[in-house]
A and B are shown apart, each in its own frame.
Chain A
Amino acid sequence: MEYEVVIGLETHIQLNTETKIFCSCKADSSLDAPNTNVCPVCMGMPGVLPVLNSRVVEKGVVLATAMNADVQSTSFFDRKNYFYPDLPKGYQISQYDRPLAKGGYMDVPQADGSTRRVTIWKLHLEEDAGKTKNDPAAGRRLIDFNRCGVPLVEMVTGPDIRSADEAANYLTRLRQLLRWIGVSEADMEKGHLRCDANVSLRPRGATHLNTKTEIKNVNSIEAVRTAIGKEIERQTREYESGNKIEAWTLEWDEDSQSLKKMRSKETEADYRYFREPDLLPVQLSGEWKSQILAEFPELPLVRRARFINDYGLPEYDAEILTAERSLSDYFESAVKSYGGDVKRVSNWLMNDVMRMLNDSGKTAGEIALTPLYLAEIIKLVDSGTVNTNTAKGLLQKVVATGKSPAEIVKSEGLAKVSDDSAIRAVVEQVMAEAPGEVAAYKSGKVGLMGWFVGQVMKKMQGKADAQKARIIFEELLK
């Protein structure tokens, strides 16, 4: 029988606020010792009250808007009750029936050119729990509470994803979006973006949902792809053998690249959700919402389509030039300053500027080579003022000094020498200094031409018009 794969993804997104969601403890503890960013509020000590961080609401609204969800003008927090050692209060403050936003979707482009619409079933704010490290060999578990109360958005998709590759594509696009809109660092390996996958199979054409399994603890996009692939294979084998799928929770083991069955978990009803009595409803006025969304950017997939349609860029270029927002903004500024062929700016950016960015580990917004300067350098090449090699050197010099390209060309005398007599003098000098090469060339080693031109360039600090030098050599070596 032919099966259709049905996948839904549950993601937890760590918001990149300065402080935790309900207290003033620092949220990012990646460089801090265990149990140092803690206070009576996030440790659930008696008599304390949570106070909501306004930035959490703002980032939540931005994310919900980017996911095409309906932001709610009134939302509530609820208590989700369970006992676990990483949760000192004995409950997690979350949102249940009146979350920050409802609905939403993302249209994810696929490799074959099609688009998969992934709907969002749940989008709400909640607090993170601490970190537990189990060490049975040493007979202990250690708990670090630093992560307690770090703000999260939980986002759950509908069962809309149809393959392991589509799941990976969704996560790649989500990660790109989160960084683009600046709400999360979205580094899966650091746990900023966590993903559980619900996987089931059904006969192709069927509309019901079969029993699903839940895959947990996958902390890279590649691991999500591999783990889902393995689970699809396993479920296919079970069905082919006439067995039933049980609603297991599976844990991905990165070391052995395999899925292990986890112990069963409390069911939803057992969480005994009820309204959080310590927090009042969140009221999002129209005024506040417009303030939050005043700077809402053009989103990466929209911009990607515009680059293809309006600029006529190849999809390959558009993809690279919208992978990251500062690079994309840089490109657009350079295109505007340059005013000429967009593809030419794209080539300079993708070949030379991106290499410099990779080498320096900086983003496009951080280098001294402004988009204006890049446009200026390309224009200097267009007008024949400098040759391409000099222009590439100029990129480096602008980055190193922060001076404008025109200024550097002037102060270092980098303008291309097209004066025949000046070049002719150097050509003659090179020939006089290399009688052996001259004789070899005349006896047929015409491959030496490159060397001759190179010598001229060297003597003229790369400023010579190479084409002119070649013509003069050909004339004199005849």
Chain B
Amino acid sequence: MPLTLQEVEHIAKLARLELTDEEKTRYREQLSAILDHVAQLQKLDTSSVPPLAGMSGSESHLRPDLARPGLGAAELLKNAPAQADAQFKIPPVFE
């Protein structure tokens, strides 16, 4: 069940990846092989196996609702390629 080229392009777009034509062809083959493998698993009869919603049997560790100081603006903004008014600055949207 090979993926179409359009499907590869769509997935690349969702992941914000720009692919060359050569890459599109290569990834189409690789992704299709992964899907083929899953398709093989799907052939197994699982009617006697209860559905599994998660991989771990244990339960979530919970945290009390108590505030603690975090990074602070100066530290965080070291990650900003550009900044203004103590905020991250990015190009505007024109509609």
Residues on A lying within 8 angstroms of B by beta carbon are 17-19, 23-27, 33-40, 42-43, 51-57, 74, 76, 81, 83, 85, 98, 133-136, 138-145, 263, 266, 270, 272, 275, 277, 279-283
Contacts and interface: CB of A to CB of B under 8 A. Distances in A.
A324 B14 CA distance: 46
A55 B63 CA distance: 8
Contact of A141 (B70, B86, B91): B91
Interface string B55-87: 110111111111110111100110100001111
Given A25-B67, A135-B92, A275 B54 contact: yes
A268 to B, nearest CB: 13
A280 B56 CA distance: 7
A138 B87 CA distance: 14
A37 B70 contact: yes
25 contacts: A18-B65, A19-B67, A24-B67, A24-B68, A33-B86, A34-B86, A35-B73, A37-B70, A42-B70, A43-B79, A54-B62, A54-B63, A54-B64, A134-B93, A140-B84, A140-B92, A141-B89, A141-B90, A141-B92, A143-B87, A144-B87, A275-B53, A280-B54, A280-B60, A281-B53
A138 B14 CA distance: 29
A161 to B, nearest CB: 30
A23 to B, nearest CB: 7
A52 B63 contact: yes
Contacts of A134: 92-93
Contact of B58 (A18, A81, A280): A280
Main secondary structure, interface of B, reads: loop
Contacts, number: 130
B18 to A, nearest CB: 14
A266 B86 CA distance: 31
Contact of B62 (A26, A34, A57, A263): A57
Contacts of A83: 16
Contacts of A43: 71, 76, 79
Main secondary structure, interface of A, reads: loop
A163 B41 CA distance: 50
For this complex, into which size category does the number of interface residues on chain B fall? 35 or more
Q: Which of A35, A38, A40, A42: most chain B Cβ within 10 A? A: A35
Contacts of B55: 275, 277
B70 A85 contact: no
Contacts of B93: 134, 136, 141
Nearest to B72: A36
B72 A76 contact: no
A85 to B, nearest CB: 5
A364 B50 CA distance: 54
A81 B65 CA distance: 27
B22 interface: no
Contact of A136 (B79, B84, B87, B94): B94
B92 A53 contact: no
A282 B61 CA distance: 8
A133 B66 CA distance: 30
Q: Which of B14, B55, B88, B92: most chain A Cβ within 10 A? A: B88
Given A35-B73, A141-B89, A143-B87, A53 B67 contact: no
A30 B10 CA distance: 39
B91 A140 contact: yes
